[in-house]
Structure 1
Amino acid sequence: MKNLALSIALGTAAVALAAPAQAEVQVTTSQPVVELSVTETVKGDPDLATIGAGVSSRAGTAVEAMRINAREMKSVIDRIKSLGVAEKDIQTTGVSLYPQYDYNRTTQQQEFKGYQASNRVSVVLRDIDKTGPVLDALVAAGATDLSGPDFSIDDDTAAKAQARAAAMKRAEAMARDYARMGGYSDIRVIQISENVMVNRPVPMLRMAVAEATADASTPIQPGQVGSSVTVNVTYEMMQ
């Protein structure tokens, strides 16, 4: 993926030069400057899958709803651990308790029906080939709500470095083109900053237990994910 933003300023400009430790140096130039924002993306095969699993439980009292939910959620977490998922890769993302009401059309009033307790965890799978079987196993263990998978790369340092180098190379080539078209013979960098983001596929699954089937393992296609770097570079055009 390639994106570009451009602006050219003529006349005197005071430009902030990025420096370590958040320092800021003002560079004054009387030459025209060209400001480029270039994005490059490097794609790779994911090696992590993150899924969400939760349990919702209902009961007549808040205490009973929480008690039932704790028991059912423990069963799900125990199943996750039995599949070889490390403790560090399981994180609680939310616990909730809400009163439940139904609307009575006859009395035209809300009628209290009890409480619903919910508990959700986020699970990181380091063997993405097991994503489908793990989802099926969680449903069998009592999970009533699933989300994901969200695929990513555990260490995308190399991919970001490639994207950064490609973005800088393209920015320099474009700046030289603008300088040449403007009658200038050289350029120099006077400011650089960057934005980094990871592009992930949209989560492929949002499933309630009632929709799950045990006929076959849930099919999962991880595809590829992209690591993007946007460099913002200001060049001075020189004679």
Structure 2
Amino acid sequence: MRPRLLALLVCAAASVAPPALAQQAPAPMPARISVTGEGQASRAPDLAITRLTVLRSAETAAEALKSANEAMNAVTNAMPALGVEARDLQTSGFQIAPQYRYDNRPDGTQAPPTLTGYEVRNTLTVRMRDLARIGEVLDKAVQLGVNEGGSIDFQIENVAAASDEARREAVRKARDSAAALAEAAGVKLGRIVTIEDGGSSALPPPPMPMAELRMAAPMDKVPVSVGENAVTAQVRIVFEITP
């Protein structure tokens, strides 16, 4: 009985031991500093995208459709000779819509609408890789019947290299900011705890409105300035700091 009683007493003593002996308090978390950085890389675009629209109106839908088809077929067939491949041509919009006239009766009330004809709108998206021929493409499209459209968007087809360059600059700027803050606060930078990628984005130059293209159509070639695209990236870095 005595050995058993002694074992019970030992267990009871262990169960009422001070918490400090049973489990040590966690070490305090090191002080930290969080900074962000933004980098930018510029590249000349290597791809231009435009949307060319043929708009035709006629008394019947069949007549409007025939006229629009003739013009759009002429535009599409002319593209290969201008360096635009078939894979870079895509119909991005097509619509047939009735057109009405709204009149008022002599007493001022509105009469039922009168059907006046039909309108057909056919839009072709064109991706141009030979940027030196953009003016030729646009000029030819207008000559063949394009009378409405959007704008020219310049893009970088493979943006990965520019994005990486922008990220490296963003990290460098974040480090510089952290070093300046640490110096001002009288502390030292420690190891990097986390790095978060805020993503990257390509900022194209302002698009060229189609209205300007229509005005320039009578010239030998539409004047186009390519410029450069800016790719930006952001990062957030957390550093430990020590006294």
Both structures adopt the same fold (TM-score exceeding 0.5): yes
| Greater C-alpha radius of gyration | 2
Query: What CA distance in whole angstroms lies between the structure 1 residues aligned with 2:179 and 2:234?
Result: 19
How much has 1:63 moved relative to structure 2?
A: 4.1
- Paired residue for 1:144, among 124, 132, 147? 147
Larger % of strand: which? 1
Residues 119/234 of structure 1: CA separation in 2 closer, same or farther (3 Å cut): farther
Matches within 5 A, 1:107-126: 108-109=110-111, 110-126=113-129
Query: What CA distance in whole angstroms lies between the structure 2 residues aligned with 1:47 and 1:210?
Result: 24
1:134-165, CA deviations, whole angstroms, 9 ceiling, x for partnerless residues? 11000111111233221122223222221111
Aligned partners of 2:38 and 2:173 also within 8 Å: no
Identity %: 27
Query: What CA distance in whole angstroms lies between the structure 2 residues aligned with 1:179 and 1:77?
Result: 62
Residues 226/209 of structure 1: CA separation in 2 closer, same or farther (3 Å cut): closer
Q: Which amino acid aligns with 2:45?
A: P
TM-score of the superposed pair, with normalisation by structure 2: 0.77
Q: Considering only aligned residues, what root-mean-square deviation do their CA atoms show, in Å?
A: 2.5
Quote the residue 2:201 is aligned against.
Answer: 197
Query: What CA distance in whole angstroms lies between the structure 2 residues aligned with 1:44 and 1:168?
Result: 20
1:2-53, CA deviations, whole angstroms, 9 ceiling, x for partnerless residues? xxxxxxxxxxxxxxxxxxxxxxxxxx98234333332211112222221111
Matches within 5 A, 1:219-230: 219-230=223-234
Residues 233/217 of structure 1: CA separation in 2 closer, same or farther (3 Å cut): same
How much has 1:62 moved relative to structure 2?
A: 3.3
Query: What CA distance in whole angstroms lies between the structure 2 residues aligned with 1:48 and 1:104?
Result: 48
Quote the residue 2:14 is aligned against.
Answer: none
Report whether the alignment pairs 1:176 with 2:183.
no
How much has 1:219 moved relative to structure 2?
A: 1.0
Q: Which amino acid aligns with 2:167?
A: R
Larger % of helix: which? 2
Residues 232/85 of structure 1: CA separation in 2 closer, same or farther (3 Å cut): same
How much has 1:126 moved relative to structure 2?
A: 1.1
Query: What CA distance in whole angstroms lies between the structure 2 residues aligned with 1:37 and 1:111?
Result: 62
Q: Which amino acid aligns with 1:84?
A: G
Report whether the alignment pairs 1:49 with 2:48.
yes
Q: Which amino acid aligns with 2:174?
A: A
Count of aligned pairs: 212
Query: What CA distance in whole angstroms lies between the structure 2 residues aligned with 1:125 and 1:33?
Result: 50
How much has 1:166 moved relative to structure 2?
A: 0.7
Report whether the alignment pairs 1:131 with 2:134.
yes
TM-score of the superposed pair, with normalisation by structure 1: 0.78
Query: What CA distance in whole angstroms lies between the structure 2 residues aligned with 1:29 and 1:144?
Result: 71
Query: What CA distance in whole angstroms lies between the structure 2 residues aligned with 1:213 and 1:106?
Result: 43
Query: What CA distance in whole angstroms lies between the structure 1 residues aligned with 2:213 and 2:158?
Result: 33
User: Moved runs in structure 1, 4+ residues, more than 6 A?
Assistant: none
